Amino acid sequence: MGWLGNVAPIWALVVMLMSLTACREASTEAPIGPPPTPHVVETVVAAIQATTNALPTATSNPTATVAPTPAITPATVAPTPAITPTHDLHATITAAIQTAIAALPTAMPIPTATPTLTPTLSATPTPTPEPTSTPVSTPTPTVGPTSTLTPTSMIGQVRPGIVRIEAGSGSGSGVIFDMRITTQKTGSGVGFVLTNYHVIEEAISFDLFDANVSVIVNDRKAYKASVVGVDMKRDLAVLEICCSKFTVLRFSDANMLTAGTEIVAMGYPLGLISQATSTRGIVSGMTYEYCCDRWVVQHDAPINPGNSGGPMVSLSGEVVGINTYKIAGLYVEGVGFAIAQKTIEEQLPRLKDGGDALDAVNVLDHWTHGPDPSTQRVDFRVYKMPWLLEWTLEEGGSHLLISGREAFDRESRTWLDVTKPSTGKMVVYQTGRYLVNFEGTGKYTVVVKTR
């Protein structure tokens, strides 16, 4: 039993070895974590070595010591069976374990570098989509200023569309905003000029039907201008000049202006005979003037007499207002005002169609004569301007002459002289008492309308 007692721990180690082998086989099927470290054989041998060292030292079976028998009666002593010496226990166990380990499946080495783990995204990387650049809308090329202009190039580009206006004894500025082409081959035609009413007020009220207004384009050529329409309340006027290929400036939405937006005021201050000059400033604010039923933009760009009617432009060269007046004084500085684009574009269709003259719908008087040749003198008084003189020479008529004068004038002037059937109207920007003569051959009608 003593030897078996020493062997029992060995069987326990063998059982442990078998358990380790089973665990290892299970681990190769479903690895959960990192593989066991160190070589299995060395680990097990080390464990057995430690266990063996803990056993009681048994180098050999103890030799039986026979106590001396008293020599009274000789007796035959049974020989003690020879006990075979026990081999080295440690070496034997180690050899057995080595043999058992060698008999294990070849797949004993546990992969250390490539365990079969749950695949991660890095094993099969998802292709990263290349960033798609957001398409930048390319503006449709247009003729005229663009936002990429420098102030110098912008001023040079818009300057041909800014004009100097000479009206009577005064002068001012204006801007060509539209054109009606009459000659397709050359692109020339009639130009429409926007300015302030007060710029031409003296000239059109001085002469009954022949306003002394000239428009100088490109600082070189002067054109005789005719008044298309005025808006006295809002201080706007549209003139017509003919004929050439004019540079037209476009309008921009003044509602986009905010305090601090940079603008440039352009025109002909103080009637200086030179190129249109420019001054730079910022928008101070926008306000509505109830007295004049208009929106105005306040700014601090320096303006002076002669700038009236000239454009206030954005840095992209678009018209955002018409410079009209400033507040001046010893303690006042940088308070200029321009009629805003919003008000201008609302009124332009009406101005091009006659302006305030469209309000002359009240018939003050009318006369009809013919078809026989006739002559008549009439006298009437108008208190509000502008007023209209409308006329019609019907079919079969061959002549209509209208002449007259304001009561305080010395000489009568010809207002109308036609020699074939036609109809038309004239706008008069004066008030007063008028003495008028009609001479006609055929049936004709003359009507005076006031506001």
pLDDT for res 271: 82
**Tokens representing residue 408 in the block:** 């305080």
Report how far residue 380's alpha carbon sits from residue 431's, in angstroms, rounded to the nearest whole number: 11
Q: For 303, which DSSP code?
A: -
Window from 44-58, 89-103, 298-312 with minimum mean pLDDT: 44-58
Q: Tell me: the pLDDT tens digits for 18-63?
A: 555 554 554 444 444 445 545 555 655 565 566 556 555 544 444 4
- For tokens 């002909």, name the residue: 268
Window from 3-17, 151-165, 260-274 with minimum mean pLDDT: 3-17
pLDDT for res 139: 40
Q: For 139, which DSSP code?
A: P
* % residues pLDDT > 70 (the chain): 66
Facing residues of 374 across strands?
440
Confidence bin at 170 (pLDDT 50/70/90): confident
Confidence bin at 157 (pLDDT 50/70/90): very high
pLDDT for res 272: 80
**Which spans in 118-176 are helix H?**
151-158
Contact at 8 Å (CB) between 373 and 440? yes
N-terminal to C-terminal alpha carbon distance within the chain: 144
CATH fold for the domain made of 254-352: Thrombin, subunit H (2.40.10)
Confidence bin at 138 (pLDDT 50/70/90): very low
pLDDT for res 51: 54
* Helix, strand, coil percentages, rounded to 5, for the chain: 20, 35, 40
Mean pLDDT of 363-371: 91
| CATH fold match for the domains 153-244 and 360-450 | no
Window from 18-22, 48-52, 339-343, 357-361 with minimum mean pLDDT: 18-22
| 8-17, 61-70, 286-295, 327-336: which is most confident | 286-295
What DSSP element (H or E) covers 174?
strand 170-183
**Helix, strand, or coil (residue 384):** coil
Which of 255, 256, 245, 238 lies closest to 175 in space, CA to CA? Answer: 238
Confidence bin at 433 (pLDDT 50/70/90): very high
pTM of the model: 0.65
Contact at 8 Å (CB) between 389 and 428? yes
Mean pLDDT of 85-101: 59
Mean pLDDT of 56-74: 45
E-strand stretches of 262-318? 262-267, 277-289, 294-299, 311-314
pLDDT surpassing 50 at residue 300: yes
Domain boundaries 360-450, corresponding CATH code: 2.60.120.1540
Angle at 189 between CA 188 and CA 191, to 5 degrees: 120
Contact at 8 Å (CB) between 247 and 286? no
| 4-13, 64-73, 331-340: which is most confident | 331-340
pLDDT for res 48: 59
Window from 16-30, 350-364, 427-441 with minimum mean pLDDT: 16-30
Contact at 8 Å (CB) between 257 and 297? yes
Burial zone of 16 (CB within 10 Å; 0-12 exposed, 13-18 middle, 19+ buried):
middle
CATH fold for the domain made of 153-244: Thrombin, subunit H (2.40.10)
Burial zone of 238 (CB within 10 Å; 0-12 exposed, 13-18 middle, 19+ buried):
buried
**Which spans in 191-262 are helix H?**
197-206
Mean pLDDT of 415-436: 90
Confidence bin at 291 (pLDDT 50/70/90): very high
- Which backbone phi and psi does 184 adopt, to 5 degrees? -65, -35
pLDDT surpassing 70 at residue 146: no
What DSSP element (H or E) covers 47?
helix 40-54
pLDDT for res 134: 43
Q: Tell me: the pLDDT tens digits for 172-200?
A: 999 999 999 999 988 899 999 999 999 99
Which of 207, 208, 195 lies closest to 239 in space, CA to CA? Answer: 195
Cis peptide before 34 (omega within 30 of 0): no
Domain boundaries, the chain: 1-56+89-101, 153-244, 254-352, 360-450
Please report, for residues 173, 198, 217, 385, the alpha-carbon distance to residue 324 in angstroms, rounded to integers and kept in the order given: 10, 9, 20, 22
Mean of per-residue pLDDT scores for the chain: 78
